[in-house]
Structure 1
Amino acid sequence: MPKKLAVIYTVLIVLILAVCYASITMGAFSIDDPSELFSTLFQINPNEQYSILLFDLRLPRIVTAGLVGLGLGIAGAVIQAVTRNGLADPGILGINAGAGAAIVGYMLIFQGQTETANLLAAMGMPFFGLIGGLLAAAFIFMFAWHGGNLDSGRIILVGIAINSGFSAVSLYLSLKMNPNDYEMAMVWKNGSIGSANWAYIQAALPWFLLLIPFLLAKSRLLDTIRFHEDTVKSLGVSSNLEKAVLLIACVGIISACVSISGSMSFVGLIAPHISRRLAGVLHRYSLPLSGLIGMFLVLCADFAGKLLFQPSEVPAGILLAIFGVPYFLYLLFKQKKAVQ
């Protein structure tokens, strides 16, 4: 790894650790004594009050935000490579909305269940999300396919339509819920990590452990797919098959993210762009960096939403959208100007 990249990775990891420490120690109840914090964290003469605060509330939230950011950052970079469209993002393309609609339906089935049933429901949520995400991806292939290839110009338009359609389905299903579950579903749909717990993390973790290494191992293939379709085929790569496999893996990661945090738009758009600016176009460097940048973005958004608006709380997804929409418009204007 080049020295410049090693410095970038080191700085980013330090920033992530700093945000994690701030998120652990700051909030409605602050932890002012670092020695007592670490003794509780490593279970050396732990403080009982700190133990509840750390292990039941703040650590699950930090782990969830980190996993979601990592997954969306990597999935967004892969989707942009597969579609050859720098504006592609799981939220914009409707994959988030497809996974979310399926999971809202699953939440409707399990509403009002006991704690044991809720644990079982948590284990099934990523599977339902995968079905919804794959359905959204199938619509993308169906309507954006032109001349034997994905038409990058149609992808965004098709994605916007799919996003709107599945969002309407989610709203219809959520209206069938009782008031308490409806309120929870609405907060979750906006991208909230406030209800994070270890059961949801355990349900989603296998998906991350299986699919993220798979995508990282495909970094050289992603470098090849960037070229023109004729060039890719001349290299002996089965382009359409490889794209389908990569997209299914991305949908699996996105579904796992949506199942534990709701819809977090624009992470998969912003993180890959920043990563390519810092690390270049080679995916063996930019792909893991995109995941770390995504992790940092979601951690910062969740921390800001929790701390800056006390005693209320703003979901991380809303804060990400506030910054993501102007960035998307900037990229759209920049791409339009480049075409002209």
Structure 2
Amino acid sequence: MKTMTMVKKQRLVLVALFVLILIMMGVGAGLGASSLSFSRIFPTLFGQGTFKEEFILFSIRLPRIIVTVLAGMALALSGSILQGVTRNDLADPGLLGINTGAGMAVAVYFLFFPIEAGVFAYLLPVVAFAGAFVASALIYLFSYDRQTGLQPVRLVLVGVCFSMAMSGLMVVLVSSASREKVDFIYSWLAGGIWGSDWPFILALLPWLIVLIPVTLFKTKQLNLLNLGETVAIGTGVRVERDRMVLLAAAVALAASAVSITGSISFIGLMAPHIARSLVGPRNQLFIPVAILTGGWLLLVADTIGRNLFPPDGIAAGIMVALIGAPYFIYLLLKK
């Protein structure tokens, strides 16, 4: 009976979040350095706008909005997986060094390899995934104990240390680069939504289309992993195999998102907690809510940030950090 009540509540929350995302998309489409009246958004959307209105909406605003929502969804899902697999409520792809590993790979690729315009958008998530995978593998090895298994507290500490070390190494790498490349990488580090064009949407969307169903299929295993390795093994879960699959999915989601949006932390931390507070701790219920919550949160942060100090605005990563850092401290004190 209680489960049915929570399922109904989940459906209502999902509808409400979907409506909030649509409203925020409308607000984001109408706000910016170039004027586009809210009353002209729907006519322009259906081909009845002027050349200027169509250019603003379809070439500038709409791609950025869609990229932001998709990236927020990917980061939220990645954080949900990491918190479940590690049994650590403070786990987040940005805090655990995954984002920085992806950033290191992107920086090396951008600095030392030729950039081909036709394949750059599609190759970047793959490059980021390779860097994030290496970083996460090292962090996992340093956090794992043969006798007691994965150590959640050690995981956070090792992840923070790796993140700081790789950030320092990245600064050393870019110190001798040209001004244009340095500007790009520092913008990436700040979490500026730089990949705001249609090819980047096509580069990010397949990762979500594949990995969201994979994660939802594994929610039962995630529930059991939350209870500890002994319980999971006793119920027939292949702990190491399922953990590796889920961790690979989390790394791929985070890497594909940050390769296009830049280094954004705390979305993967906040969205799962907000979702659990709304529909409870069962992964089947809160993960879909967390996905939409992450998309909405990042869209709100980017819309506010780019309109605060036009024309450049404030990077979405900085806006998210202004909200997420106090929330992280609150969770740290609470736990």
Amino acid at match of 1:80: Q
| Residue matched to 1:182 | 182
In structure 2, runs of 5+ residues without a counterpart are none
CA contact (8 A) 1:94 1:159 kept: yes
Matched, 1:330 2:330: yes
Q: CA deviation at 1:189?
A: 1.5
Q: CA deviation at 1:216?
A: 1.7
In structure 1, runs of 5+ residues without a counterpart are 336-340
Q: CA deviation at 1:40?
A: 2.1
CA contact (8 A) 2:67 2:195 kept: no
Q: CA deviation at 1:198?
A: 1.4
In the alignment, the residues of structure 1 paired with residue 160 and residue 265 of structure 2 have an alpha-carbon distance, to the nearest angstrom, of 13
Post-superposition Cα deviations, 1:140-183, rounded to whole Å, max 9, x if no partner, equal 22110012511112011101111012212222222243101211
Post-superposition Cα deviations, 1:61-84, rounded to whole Å, max 9, x if no partner, equal 101100110001111011000000
Local SS of the residue matching 2:208: helix
CA contact (8 A) 1:271 1:290 kept: yes
In the alignment, the residues of structure 2 paired with residue 199 and residue 216 of structure 1 have an alpha-carbon distance, to the nearest angstrom, of 27
The two structures have a TM-score, normalised by structure 2, of 0.94
In the alignment, the residues of structure 2 paired with residue 62 and residue 142 of structure 1 have an alpha-carbon distance, to the nearest angstrom, of 37
Amino acid at match of 1:32: S
Q: CA deviation at 1:8?
A: 1.7
Show the 5 A alignment for 1:1-340: 2-32=7-37, 34=39, 36-43=40-47, 45-110=48-113, 113=115, 117-146=116-145, 147=147, 149-335=149-335
In the alignment, the residues of structure 1 paired with residue 97 and residue 109 of structure 2 have an alpha-carbon distance, to the nearest angstrom, of 18
Distance verdict in 2 for CA 1:125–1:176, change over 3 Å: farther
Distance verdict in 2 for CA 1:216–1:32, change over 3 Å: same
Distance verdict in 2 for CA 1:109–1:121, change over 3 Å: farther
Aligned length: 329
Does 65-74 or 167-176 show the bigger shift?
167-176
In the alignment, the residues of structure 2 paired with residue 19 and residue 196 of structure 1 have an alpha-carbon distance, to the nearest angstrom, of 17
CA contact (8 A) 1:193 1:261 kept: yes
Amino acid at match of 1:106: Y
Identity %: 37
- RMSD of Structure 2 on Structure 1 (CA): 1.5
Runs ≥4 in structure 1, deviation > 4 angstroms?
A: none
The two structures have a TM-score, normalised by structure 1, of 0.93
| Residue matched to 1:338 | none
